[in-house]
Structure 1
Amino acid sequence: MPFKKLHSDIQEKLGHLEITIPTPLQSTSIPVIKSGANVFCMAPKSSGKTTTLILTTLQKLKCEAVGNAPRAVVLVENKEKAIELYDTFLTYTKHNSLRVYVGYEELHIDVQKSEIFMGVDILISTPKTMNKLFLLNGVSTSQLKIFSIDDADFLAQASVYNALISITQSIKKCQFVLYSEKMTPKLERFESYFMEHSKIIAI
């Protein structure tokens, strides 16, 4: 049972939320993601992809704040998705020290730079905003451990795709996990860029 092997804080939170049985995706993907491999997680809607993303991120960061630079980055399609994911993360981080920050195009980039500089563990952003932060030296990737993309189907847009390639070229060593409903030729192409030696989990 994947939940049994997660950090005790996560198990306690899952108990409060009355989540006791992992979905087939969670049973299959959590051990692989915990192993540190780059992973493509393919599964239909409502199969537990976002919860898997949150649980494995918390596990990777051991449920505690460390330093000032982000150790986890999560990319999403737009402001609405960013805020929704931020709120869901807060459900899980309410009783630990992890600092979650959300950024998006509509929020002035200088505001984001100064707030990130104050210290964050998990940074949720859109590809364009994240790329802008990189170009302006607004975020350090020196401590990055895990980089996830939620509902990655939106990466089919050329401008977003190019922003992601630009971002990942700046990251030296990190685990990448990409969640999507299905594999597409465009997603497959990432194997040549940052998803080297990746494993594919399809439910």
Structure 2
Amino acid sequence: MSFKKLIEPLADTISNKGFEEPLPLQKQILSKIKGGASLFAIAPDGKGKTTSIVISVIQKLKTAFEDAPRALIFVKDKQAAQDLERVFNDFKRGTDLRVYCAYDEYDIDSQRDEIYVGTDIVIATPKRLNKLFYMNGINLNKLQMFIVEDADFLFRNNNLSEVTRTPESIGKCQYLIFASKFDARFERWQDSFMYNAQVVKL
């Protein structure tokens, strides 16, 4: 998929940044994601995984809508959440999409109240997301995209089980997992909520 096929504000932003055509990974996955496919995108660092997430989410959601988030992105820690939020804020210019970060180093009651006001995209650490969910602090009934950025972190500090809990509580959703390598433990997801997912390796 070429950048020219993106919604106008996003295509304009990408053009202003001087990006003329998608990177090899993006050429393989952007059209698949737009078409609704779930996938594992496996590529080394620096090959466009993060920008693929941002472009795909903005392209799919387009505008703010109601209060419940439609995209949930798991990240390893507070710094990763804030870094990804900055990229989103840079690329979503010209849209009214709302992005919110939920991480452990912040008052959970304040986070619950701020999420309740309304957001389209939630970037969260696994433990904090689950705490918010179990205290009824986040509504996942409208979720369309479930994403893990740099999923290699899942295999430390019980993060895999924390993230695996979430699909048990949501309905039909698109699953996108980005990682530098395909870990054999991902096969458990292929046998359950990602049974029809494609694997794209660069």
Q: Same fold (TM over 0.5)?
A: yes
> Matches of residues 184-203 of structure 1 in structure 2 within 5 Å?
184-203=183-202
Cα distance in 2 for residues equivalent to 1:202 and 1:5 = 24
Cα distance in 2 for residues equivalent to 1:54 and 1:75 = 13
Show the counterpart of 2:59. 59
Show the counterpart of 2:159. 160
> Tell me, which stretches of 5 or more residues in structure 2 are unaligned?
none
Amino acid at match of 2:98: R
Amino acid at match of 2:8: S
CA RMSD, Structure 1 to Structure 2 (Å):
1.1
Q: Is the 8 A contact 1:2 1:26 kept in 2?
A: no
Deviations 1:131-154 (A, max 9, x none): 111111111111111111100001
Shift of the alpha carbon at 1:157? 2.0
- The normalised TM-score by structure 2 is 0.97
Show the counterpart of 1:37. 37
> Matches of residues 1-203 of structure 1 in structure 2 within 5 Å?
1-62=1-62, 64-157=63-156, 159-203=158-202
Amino acid at match of 1:7: I
Most deviating of 83-92 and 155-164: 155-164
Cα distance in 2 for residues equivalent to 1:196 and 1:5 = 29
Q: Is the 8 A contact 1:99 1:120 kept in 2?
A: yes
What is the SS of the residue equivalent to 1:32? Answer: helix
What is the SS of the residue equivalent to 2:158? Answer: helix
Amino acid at match of 1:93: K
Q: Is the 8 A contact 2:10 2:92 kept in 1?
A: no
- The normalised TM-score by structure 1 is 0.96
Cα distance in 2 for residues equivalent to 1:31 and 1:139 = 30
Q: Is the 8 A contact 2:10 2:93 kept in 1?
A: no
Most deviating of 133-142 and 189-198: 189-198
Cα distance in 2 for residues equivalent to 1:103 and 1:94 = 22
> Tell me, which stretches of 5 or more residues in structure 1 are unaligned?
none
Cα distance in 2 for residues equivalent to 1:167 and 1:33 = 20
Cα distance in 1 for residues equivalent to 2:185 and 2:103 = 24
Which ranges of 4 or more aligned residues in structure 1 deviate by more than 3 Å?
A: none
Cα distance in 2 for residues equivalent to 1:93 and 1:37 = 23
Q: Is the 8 A contact 1:98 1:121 kept in 2?
A: yes
What is the number of equivalent residue pairs in this alignment?
A: 202
Deviations 1:152-177 (A, max 9, x none): 00111252111111112111111010
